[in-house]
């Protein structure tokens, strides 16, 4: 009984010792350095230019493209300005809507899915060479209120578009941060 407690205490002591040895190796990706300077990753992300997405003017996809671009720009730059771009991020995407549930009485959808499938290409401006490509997707569901509530239906679709656009921007910014911090 006493030897079992001693073995457990020895194992916990070994785990604590290993944790203490590796504690100095960890540095958060976005952390400010102790000397007050910003991290190199933040500076690299701020140097990514996000041009407007090529979609027909006044279309629903154009509004979604603006939403993706704005969310991505905020995640990359925050409120910072004035950094000369070193990379350009080219975005392409398609959207989809699908009905999940149909009301038997009215034959109208009561729940739908909104989806965005995005492809992105990070181009180094100096050499005009592609340094990273990738794709991501987002699927969000939303409820469709009764058939006589047209404004509510329109607003539900728009909210789903905004949520999907933010999710796409989050996925892309995370991949860019990974690329700039590790090179992969």
The pLDDT value recorded for residue 27 is 59
Angle between helices 60-77 and 150-182 (to 10 degrees): 40
Selection from 107, 113, 71 nearest residue 91 by Cα: 71
Selection from 175, 173, 163, 180 nearest residue 74 by Cα: 173
The pLDDT value recorded for residue 35 is 55
* Cβ-contact 125, 85 below 8 angstroms: yes
The pLDDT value recorded for residue 9 is 84
pLDDT along the chain (184 residues), means of 10: 79 80 63 59 89 90 95 86 88 92 78 94 96 96 79 90 97 94 76
**Is pTM, for the whole model, over 0.85?**
no
């Amino acid at each position: 009984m006493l030897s079992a407690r001693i073995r457990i205490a020895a194992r916990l002591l070994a785990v604590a010792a290993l944790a203490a040895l590796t504690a100095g190796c960890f540095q958060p990706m976005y952390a400010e350095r102790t000397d007050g300077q910003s991290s190199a990753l933040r500076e690299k992300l701020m140097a990514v230019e996000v041009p407007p997405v090529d979609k027909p003017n006044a279309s629903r996809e154009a509004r979604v493209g603006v939403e993706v671009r704005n969310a991505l720009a905020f995640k990359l730059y925050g409120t910072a300005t004035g950094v000369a771009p070193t990379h350009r991020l080219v975005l392409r995407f398609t959207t989809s809507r699908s009905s999940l549930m149909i009301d038997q009485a009215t034959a109208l959808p009561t729940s739908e899915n909104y989806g965005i499938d995005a492809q992105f290409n990070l181009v180094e401006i100096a050499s005009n060479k592609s340094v990273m490509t990738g794709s991501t997707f987002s699927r969000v569901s939303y409820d469709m209120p009764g058939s006589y509530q047209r404004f509510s239906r329109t607003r539900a679709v728009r909210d789903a578009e905004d949520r999907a656009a933010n999710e796409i921007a989050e996925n892309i910014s995370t991949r860019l941060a990974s690329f700039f911090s590790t090179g992969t």
